[in-house]
Structure formats: C-alpha cells, structure tokens
Amino acid sequence: MSYFLGIDTSTTATKALLMRASGAVVAVASSEYPYETPRPLWSEQHPNLWWGATVASIRQVLADSGVDPARVAGVGLTGQMHGLVLLDEAGQVLRPAILWNDQRTGAQCDEIRRRLGKARLIRLTGNDALTGFTAPKILWVQEHEPDLFARARHILLPKDYVRYKLTGDFATDRADAAGALLFDIEARDWSTEVLDALEIPAAWLPRTHEGPEVTGQISTDAALATGLRAGTPVVGGGGDQAAAAVGVGAVAPGIIALTLGTSGVVFASTDRPLVEPEGRLHAFCHAVPGRWHLMGVMLSAAGSLRWYRDTLAPGVGFDALLAPAAETPTGSEGLLFLPYLTGERTPHPDPLARGAFVGLTVRHTQPHLTRAVLEGVAFGLRDSFELIKSTGQTEIRQVRASGGGAKSPLWLSILANVFDVELVTVNTAEGAAYGAALLAAVGAGAWPDVDTACQQSIHVTGVTTPRPDEVGRYDRTYAIYRDLYPALRALSHRLGET
C-alpha cells in the first residue's frame, strides 16, 4: 500500500500528516515555533524555523506510524499565505519573512492603487491592495531596505521555501500565488502588467503549477535530513484555505466550506474567475485545476465566543455556557451583537471597526447575551454569503462546516437558519494538511482527479437543515444587523483614535 504525506507550514507550527491511499489518516505530528513582533504592527518569522519543524515533524510521523519511507509515494505542501521570503543568488535567506498578519504596509497599498488604479487592480488580481498581501511587502523592503533589496534574486511564499529545501526547486502553486497580489487570476499566472507597474523582476518569481502537479522530487540532502526517500515526488499543493477546502471536499461549485475557528472563513468554489467589483471578497485560483474560489474572512468568529466566555463567564465550559441559550427565543428578544472585536475584513475592511451589544434591556439575562453572540457571528458570516451571491455564484446547495465552533449543535442550527441552507459536517478534521495529502495522492496517480479523491475519501457525518419559520425571523433580524456597522462606524473610529 502507498502512503501520502501532507505538510502544513502554519504561523505557529508545522504539521506532517501521513495518509493511506484509501484516504485514512495513519499518523499526525506537529512541531511548534514562535513569531516575532519587533515593532508595533510588525510580524516576522525566520524561515529556518519552518525547515527545522518540517524535518522534526516528518521524522516524528514516520517513527510513529512505522511506515517504510520507500512506501511514501508523494508529498503535498500547504501553509500560511501571503508571507514574503527573500533569497539571494545563492538561495540564502536575506531577512526574516514578513508574515500575512503584518500591518506595516498601508502606504505601499496606497501606492499600488495609485500605479494601477483600484478597479484595474481588482480586475486583474481579483483583490484590492491589503496590508496582508505579498506585493506591498516587496515594495516596503524596496523602499526601507534598499541595500538588502539589491541583493534579492528570489521571492518565495512560506510553504515554497519548504519546497525549496525539500527539492532544490523554485516553484509554487497557483492557489497560493494568487494571494500575492501579483497574479492574473484569469490567466492563472504572474501578471506582467502588475509586475511592470510595481517594478518587480519577473525572473525573481518561481514558476507556477496546479495543485496536484509534480513540481520536483525530494533531493538527496533532504532525504538525509527528513528520512524520506530521495526521488519522492512533491506536488504543488495549495495555500492553507484552498488546501483546507480540498480537505473537506469543497471543490465544486455549490459546495461551500465554512471554517468556524478563531476567525471565520466562507469559501466558495467557482468554475470561472468571478470578482467582487469592490474587492470586498478575496478571489483566488483554487488548488483544483481549472477552478477558482471566492473567500470572505471574518476576524472574530469563534474568537468572539471565547472572548465572551473568558470575560463574562470565566471558568465555565462551553457546553454549560451554551445550554441555556438553546432555550432562549430566536433573535435573543431584540438583542444584537456586532462581532468586530479585532476590526473586520469582510465585508468591511476596517481595522477600527468595533464590537457592540445593541438593544440591551433589564429583561436580558446571560443566556440572551450568549445567544446574541452566536447569532451575531452567524449574521457576520452571512454578509460573505450575500457578497458571493452578488457575483453570480447563486447556487449554494450545501455548506460544509469545520473548526471548533462546528462542534456546537446549537450554533450549527442557528447558522443553517441564518443562511437558509443545509449545513453538514464531514469525517475529516485535519484541514489543510489532509487536503495537501489528497493533492499529493492525485499527483501520484492514486486517483484520477481531485473530485474523485474527495468523493471517495470524504463523507458526510451530520446534517442540519433550516426551519422555514426560523429562517423568516432571522431574515428580519439580519436586515437590522446590516444597519449596525454604518450607524456605528464614525463612533467606532473616534473611539479607536483616542
């Protein structure tokens, strides 16, 4: 039997997942590391941490499983998106990577819009210029570290530095590359127009591949370091969100992936490159060849519930906290919660947006507040659904929920009623690493395509259907919720600037 390895280089750890050709997970290992904030708004991490953790996790997963490395038939890569890794002519790291959550590049975002025009930028890349993306980071280094920039010869994304260490090749996948703000998403390759406008040499960028496409093989040096067999193929893989969507089977139009973790992500596969004209949704290539995706990101989803519990009910378990809320009427008797505790991204890209309880009366008790938090997050996620529908992706047949929040039957029920769509859970829980392993299996020929791999390995384990009477009540409350941000925006900005 063949085995396939998925490697996920996240912000806090590198996970290695070993999967049988049947799709069954055999073993998982993880190695943690820190990131640095050397100045306010900065977020950096040295790529050597990723490589050291990759070596440790691969060796651990092989040891734990007892699998002969010669039976590992393919490796797939995924990881944190948008980070900037700069290498010199010899392939040496020039500076710590600037990460996706770094916020120093506001001026560079404005400059990108000035050079290309916002509408043209969105039309080409699918996205507005945001501080998280790679392109403004490149301009920042060019402006603030010119001597270092003059030595740069290679630009890589985080997981692709791991690829370079594994194979010696400079390559990337098209899903991750689309998040660099340098990609023509319709052509599925680097945009000459954007590169020319930003004066970034095309020769510095790696060649691009589809997610299941083989990009190279494990080198002799990497085999000695990791214990894998030299010559083992390595496929393109995908950015963490695209790989996670593969990992729950959200690969065809009409199947939406909903991740209810600290942040919330609504991920919709499309069969053509759709773009939200104002750039309020991310539009990237999918890890599935010939497909794209739209993505809305909510910064405080299950994070809102954790904040609420830790602040107002410390020490109370989540099950005990949520149980009374299930007996509270739909709509929390006129109480609304605005979940912008850390600013917001979709549909309001506003770092100064603030959270709020609105409509409090003496009638309201803690169960009302608890339910209002759950409902407020559901309304915020519905904003992304409404934007997705506005692009022409109107068919939403099923939502596949994952993440810590998806363990709550009450929250799943609220979400199904707010979205008015069937919500399901599936048998896979390892997210992006599992998706990367599936892509490796397709690349090695274990399945003919990604659709087949998902159909044969991923199965529905639970179904939550909407109730028509609840749907109508939530529609009316959602209309009020949508008025909250415009009404409070000016006040939130004044408070944020004090």
- pLDDT given at position 351: 83
Q: Which residues contact 40 (CB under 8 A, 6 or more apart)?
A: none
Q: What is the pLDDT of residues 181-203, one digit of tens each?
A: 999 999 999 999 999 999 999 99
Q: What is the pLDDT of residues 356-384, one digit of tens each?
A: 999 999 999 999 999 999 999 999 999 99
Helices 366-390 and 468-481, packing angle to 10 deg: 90
| d(C-alpha 142, C-alpha 105), whole Å | 12
Q: Catalytic site residues? A: 240
Q: Which has the higher per-residue pLDDT, 40 or 171?
A: 171
Q: Which has the higher per-residue pLDDT, 392 or 418?
A: 418
- pLDDT given at position 392: 82
- Ordered domains of the chain (ranges, CATH): 3-242 (3.30.420.40)
- pLDDT given at position 215: 98
Question: pLDDT at residue 214 above 70?
Answer: yes
Whole-number CA gyration radius for the chain? 22
Please tell me the pTM assigned to this model. Answer: 0.93
Question: pLDDT at residue 394 above 70?
Answer: no
User: DSSP label at 227?
Assistant: -
Share the mean pLDDT of the chain.
96
Mean pLDDT of 429-445: 96
Task: Give the pLDDT band (50/70/90) at residue 468.
Answer: very high
Question: pLDDT at residue 496 above 90?
Answer: no
Percent of the chain with pLDDT over 90: 92
| d(C-alpha 328, C-alpha 321), whole Å | 12
| d(C-alpha 167, C-alpha 345), whole Å | 36
Q: What is the pLDDT of residues 124-179, one digit of tens each?
A: 999 999 999 999 999 999 999 999 999 999 999 999 999 999 999 999 999 999 99
Residue with tokens 């690349």: 443
Task: Give the pLDDT band (50/70/90) at residue 271.
Answer: very high
Question: pLDDT at residue 228 above 80?
Answer: yes
Question: pLDDT at residue 490 above 80?
Answer: yes
- Backbone φ and ψ for 309, nearest 5 degrees, come out as -60, -50
Residue with tokens 């570290």: 145
Question: pLDDT at residue 393 above 80?
Answer: no
| d(C-alpha 175, C-alpha 157), whole Å | 11
Mean pLDDT of 47-68: 98
